[in-house]
Structure 1
Amino acid sequence: MKKPLLVIIVLGLIVFFTTVFTVDERQQVVILQFGDPVRIITEPGLHFKLPVPFQNIVTFDDRLLEYDVAPEEVLSKDKKSLIVDNYVRWKITDPLVFLKTVQAIPTAITRMDDIIYSELRRELGTHNMTEIITEAREEIMEKVTRNSDMATDQYGIKVVDVRIKRVDLPKENEQSIYARMEAERNRQANKFRSEGDEEAQKIRASTEKDKTIILAVAYKEAEEIRGEGEARALEIYAKAYNKDVDFYEFLRTLETYKKVIDDKTT
């Protein structure tokens, strides 16, 4: 009596554990019946299915996924070779389509890699190197993301974001690029120095002109003042002479003696 009961309990446990399963918030599940998909489960919680081998489950990640793309060489519009290192954020939006087309994440990454590299190469080829490095990078990556997302929709994949981490020059091109950049900077520096020297010469010439004018005006005014002073002095001398001629002659004689006789005269 006990043995058949034990067998029934064991069989019941086996049936229970092969029919009941849980889906957490990080997962989405496709239920297969004899290899054909019959149901998709995206809600977390406890779920039921037929026991194996009638039905089994395939689990896919429901989170935002990310992978680094290996650095690749692309050619810009101005024929500059660039080594582009980028990464991709993506997620599985339709697990059934995903299962039918690519089946697993490694295969999906391979397909996305081909699509994104093609879009990146095509879009970067319409921009110059300076635009890729600085000015238009945000706009370029938004367009690459949008086109890549449209191309991967057939695999049940949504490309959320494509971003460039780093842009480098090929090793064999670095020296020549740096030399051209240095030559351009030197050309601009020489131009600025030449313009500065020209402006300095203009300022010095203007200053010399102003100096000459100021000195001439000052000399003229000084001569006018000196002439007025001498005229005034003569007028004063004349008035003094007319008032007392003898005293004036005596005063002039003393001034003459003072000039002729010095301290060494005995």
Structure 2
Amino acid sequence: MNVTKTLILTIIAIFVLAAGLSLYTVNETQRAIVTRLGQLLEDKDGNVKVFEPGLHIKMPFIDQIKFLDKRLQTTELSETRMPTKENEFLIVSLFTKWHIRDFKKFYNASGTILNADHKIKEQLDEVLRTEVAKRKIDDLVWEERDILMDRIQSAANEMAKTLGVEVVDARVVRLDLPDSIQQKVFTRMETNIRKLAAERRTAGERKAREIVAEAYKDANVIRAKAKEEGLRTQGEGDAKATRIYAEAYKQAPEFYLFYRRLEAYRETFKGNNDILVLKPDDDFFKYFRRGSTKSKAQTLNSGAEEKRAG
């Protein structure tokens, strides 16, 4: 009986030991890759096998499990003093956000998150020092900060290709001056700002003059076209009026002459202080006189003379 119990316990112990050596768990924040006799396990397409979170089986003593953090990582370069082109120092802080994208390339290039962080920091530090050394303080602080940011982003993307990671963000978060040179740089910046403001003001005034001159030219062209159109319309109106007068004269010559004479009276006497000296029997007042002895023929002749005079 004791022998049987001992055998059972031995079998259970062996089973537990085998299970402990053959099973492993991948956490939710991790991914796992397996090396068998020093070689990464790959699928039939040649891609490295990446094991998702859960319980997995391995071959004891042959397989080695490599756990890699899948979460977003942060690499910081904090308050580093870097010389500029003028051999004056800036205090620079930089950070990158990245995560593993290609597990095979990452394993071969770095192996661990700590090693990758160190390599990223070294490469970005080198790029940043090179770019800062090319430029003056005024340029970095005032005009070329965006250019520096673009260069850092480009360098981070190139570095990511070799390390098997994906860079989500990379930027300079601080670009400060040491206390010893702050006032001098601020004075230079103020001078540059005033100069730039004067240049832009001059350019704006010149542009304003150009716009006003162009507006005057356009206005003159519009007025000339309007005047031309007005004269043409007036000429057409006068021609039409002349045709209407001629047709009216043909239909009722005597009434037409009477109407024209009334128009002449209205124009002559419309002023309060106007004075007109004529003989009482002048032909101009013939429609004011009663019992005119002129014949119809004389009236027509007088009307014809007025028409020729008009």
Shared fold, TM over 0.5: yes
- Return the offset for 1:18: 2.0
With over 3 angstroms needed to count, the CA separation of the structure-2 counterparts of 1:121 and 1:41, relative to structure 1, is: same
1:30 maps to amino acid: I
Residue 38 (str. 1) matches residue 62 (str. 2)? no
What is the Cα deviation at residue 77 of structure 1?
Answer: 6.2
Structure 1 unmatched ranges of 5 or more:
192-266
Q: Secondary structure at the match of 2:114?
A: helix
CA distance in structure 1 between the partners assigned to 2:185 and 2:157 by the alignment: 35
Number of aligned positions between the proteins: 187
SS of residue in 2 equivalent to 1:140: helix
Between the two proteins, what is the percent identity of the paired residues? Answer: 27
The secondary structure found in structure 1 opposite 2:71 is coil
Instruction: Compute the displacement of 1:66 (Å).
Output: 0.6
> In angstroms, what is the RMSD of aligned CA positions?
3.0
| Contact kept in structure 2, 1:74 and 1:121, CA below 8 Å | yes
Does the 8 Å CA contact 2:74/2:96 hold for their aligned counterparts?
yes
CA contact under 8 A between 1:149 and 1:160: conserved in structure 2?
Answer: no
TM-score (norm 1): 0.59
Name the counterpart of 1:6.
9
Deviation at 1:144, TM superposition (A): 1.5
Quickly say closer, same or farther: Cα 1:171–1:50, change in 2 above 3 A. Answer: same
**Structure-1 residue corresponding to 2:28:** 25
Give CA-to-partner distance per residue, 1:88-142, whole Å, 9 cap, x none. 1111222332222222222222211121122223444566645644665455324
Larger deviation, residues 54-63 vs 121-130: 121-130
Contact 1:149 1:157 in 2 (8 A): no
Equivalent residue, structure 2, for 1:209: none
Is structure 2 residue 105 aligned with structure 1 residue 105? no
Matched residue of 1:171: which SS? coil
| Cα distance between partner residues in 2 of 1:80 and 1:71 | 15
| Unmatched 5+ stretches in structure 2 | 43-48, 199-310
Matches within 5 A, 1:190-209: none
Q: What is residue 222 of structure 1 aligned with on the other side?
A: none
Aligned match for 2:59, one of 43, 50, 55 = 50
Match of 1:229 in 2: none
1:14-47 deviation line (CA, Å, top 9, x unaligned): 2112222222331111112233322532422222
Q: Is the 8 A contact 2:70 2:99 kept in 1?
A: yes
Give the superposition deviation at 1:57: 0.5
Change beyond 3 A, Cα 1:12–1:138: farther
- Amino acid across the alignment from 1:149: N
Q: TM-score, normalised by structure 2?
A: 0.52
The answer to whether residue 69 in structure 2 is matched with residue 61 in structure 1 is yes
Match of 1:140 among 128, 143, 148: 148
For residue 23 of structure 1, what is the amino acid of its counterpart? V
Contact residue 90 and residue 157 of structure 1 kept, 8 A: yes
Map of 2:307 onto structure 1: none
Q: 1:61 offset after TM fit, Å?
A: 0.5
Residue in 1 aligned with 2:102? 94
Quote the Cα distance in structure 2 between the aligned partners of 1:186 and 1:59: 55
Question: Partner residue of 1:212?
Answer: none
Q: Distance in 1 between matches of 2:156 and 2:193?
A: 42
Q: 2:80·2:93 contact (CA, 8 Å) conserved in 1?
A: yes
CA gap of 1:134–1:167, structure 2 versus 1, over 3 A, is: same
Distance 2:146 2:54 in 1: 40
CA distance in 1, matches of 2:73, 2:82: 25
Aligned pairs for 1:1-266 (under 5 A) are 1-39=4-42, 40-51=49-60, 53-76=61-84, 81-124=89-132, 129=137, 132-133=140-141, 137-138=145-146, 140-181=148-189, 184=191
Distance 1:123 1:29 in 2: 38
1:204 aligns with none
CA contact (8 A) 1:119 1:148 kept: no
Amino acid at match of 2:103: P
